[in-house]
Amino acid sequence: MHYIKIKKILEVRKYLKWGYIVIKYISCDEHMPGDIIFKNAFTYPEFYYIGGSRWAYRLCAVRGIKPQPIEPINIRTIEIDKIERTKELLKEDLLIKIPFQICQIGFCEKEQKWYGWSHRAIYGFGIGSVVKKGDCAYKPKDKADLLREMINFYIDENAELLETKFDVPNPHKEQPENLGLGCLIKYRVYLKSKKEWLVHTYWEEYPTKWGRGEWVAKTLEDAKQMAIDFARGVA
C-alpha cells in the first residue's frame, strides 16, 4: 500500500455540503527530491484521494457524484483525525501517513447512476445501460472472446494475420517471469516506404476474472460493475 505522507498542513478548506475537503500541504517522500507543496481534494470523512480542487468541484458539486475507490479500504485512522486540529497543525511539523486510495468511480443519487472515470474520460451507467463490443466497459467473457478482441484491434486492411495461439506463457523476456498464460497473435504489416513486411507479435495475459461480454445492467450493482469496467478500460 502506498501512503500519502504529509509533513506540514498549510491550509484546509472544507466543502462538507458536497462531501470533500481540500488540503494544501507539504509532502515528504523518499521517492521525491526534497519537500513538495501539494493542493489536493479528498472525500470526507473517508479521506479517499479525488485529485485537484477543480476536478473535485466538477465531480461533487456540479455533477453530484460521491467518489470512491474501486476497492476502498474503509479505515478512518488516528492519523486522519489529526487533520481536525487545523490550527494546531499549522504551527508544527508532523508526519501523517494516509493510505493512497484513488477515486475512480462514484454514485450520483439524483441520476441513480454509477460513474467511472480516468484522466481520459468519464461516463455514467444506470439500470438499462448496455455494454457492446468496442465499448471501453467491454470485458471479454472467455479465451475465444479475448482473442477476437485482439484481432479486431490489431488487424485491419493494412495487416495480415499469420498465427493465433491460446494458453501461451509470456514470450517477452523483458516482462516479469511470473505472469501467467494468455493469447498470442502474430501478424505482419506492409511498409510502403521501405517496400517490406514488418512482423509483429502481441501477447495478452488472461484476466483473473472474465467479464460478461455484451450485457445489460438490470440492477444498480450491475451499473456499478459497468462503471468499474469502464474506469479500468480507460485508465
pLDDT tens, position by position, 32-43: 667 789 999 999
Q: Report CA 208 to chain centroid distance, whole Å.
A: 17
Contact 185/164 with Cβ under 8 angstroms? yes
Cα–Cα distance between 106 and 84 in angstroms, integer?
A: 25
Q: Kindly tell me if the per-residue pLDDT of 23 is higher than 80.
A: yes
Q: Report CA 108 to chain centroid distance, whole Å.
A: 18
Mapped onto helix, strand or coil, the DSSP state of residue 153 is: helix
Q: What value does the mean pLDDT take over residues 18-43?
A: 85
Q: What is the pLDDT of residue 30?
A: 65
**Cα angle 101, 103, 108; round to 5:** 145
Contact 217/126 with Cβ under 8 angstroms? yes
- Per the structure block, which three cell numbers stand in for 24? 494544501
In which band, very low, low, confident or very high, does the pLDDT at 8 lie, cut at 50, 70 and 90?
A: confident
In which band, very low, low, confident or very high, does the pLDDT at 79 lie, cut at 50, 70 and 90?
A: low
Q: What is the pLDDT of residue 78?
A: 46
Q: What is the mean pLDDT of the chain?
A: 88
Cα–Cα distance between 138 and 158 in angstroms, integer?
A: 25
Site of grid cell 516506404: 193
In which band, very low, low, confident or very high, does the pLDDT at 157 lie, cut at 50, 70 and 90?
A: confident
DSSP code of residue 79: H
Q: What is the pLDDT of residue 166?
A: 97
Burial class (CB in 10 A: 0-12, 13-18, 19+), 34: exposed
Of the chain, the percentage scoring pLDDT greater than 90 comes to 64
Q: What is the pLDDT of residue 67?
A: 98
What are the backbone angles phi and psi of residue 15, rounded to the nearest 5°? -120, 65
177-195 pLDDT per residue, tens: 666 899 999 999 988 888 8
Look at the pTM and tell me if it is higher than 0.75.
yes
Site of grid cell 458539486: 61
Q: What is the pLDDT of residue 81?
A: 58
Q: What value does the mean pLDDT take over residues 82-106?
A: 70
Q: What is the pLDDT of residue 112?
A: 98
Q: What is the pLDDT of residue 193?
A: 85
Per-residue CA distances from 232 to 3, 130, 132, 162 (Å): 21, 17, 16, 30
Comparing CA positions, the residue from 9, 16, 151 lying closest to residue 85 is 9
Mapped onto helix, strand or coil, the DSSP state of residue 96 is: strand
> Dmax over Cα atoms in the chain, in whole Å?
71
